[in-house]
Amino acid sequence: NAGVTQTPKFQVLKTGQSMTLQCAQDMNHEYMSWYRQDPGMGLRLIHYSVGAGITDQGEVPNGYNVSRSTTEDFPLRLLSAAPSQTSVYFCASSPHGREVAGELFFGEGSRLTVL
């Protein structure tokens, strides 16, 4: 099993451009999520999904869209990139539901720079 796969690993955008960060998992996990990690701060939740067709906002959702058409995939879309979105983005999945805080399995991260 590959686990959680993120692409691309590195990306440079200009302000105003749009792009999609891809995330795929092959563990049949119900729960998937996107975090951003900035220097000196803990991981912050952007969006999450508890199953195909179900998504919800996290702590910092503005400027990002998600969809969950399949169990395996959970892409993160930047609608109009801003320098404040320069960060390292992590996708994570978990087999557990809401009552139990299951272990999160993280991807390797996608480093995004917005000029």
Region of 11-19, 45-53, 68-76, 78-86 interacting with other proteins (CB under 8 A)? 45-53
Please select the residue that binds other proteins; options are 8, 53, 56, 62, rule is CB under 8 A: 56
Using CB under 8 A as the binding rule, whether residue 74 contacts other proteins is answered as no
What single-letter DSSP state applies at residue 60?
S
Pairing of strands 54-57, 44-51: antiparallel
Measured CA to CA, the distance from residue 96 to residue 84 in angstroms comes to 32
Region of 19-27, 50-58, 63-71, 72-80 interacting with other proteins (CB under 8 A)? 50-58
How many residues bind other proteins (CB under 8 A)? The answer is 29
Question: At a CB cut-off of 8 Å and minimum separation 6, what does 54 contact?
Answer: 68
Using CB under 8 A as the binding rule, whether residue 34 contacts other proteins is answered as no
- Tell me whether residue 10 or residue 14 sits nearer to other proteins (CB atom): 10
- Pair of tokens at residue 29: 């996990």
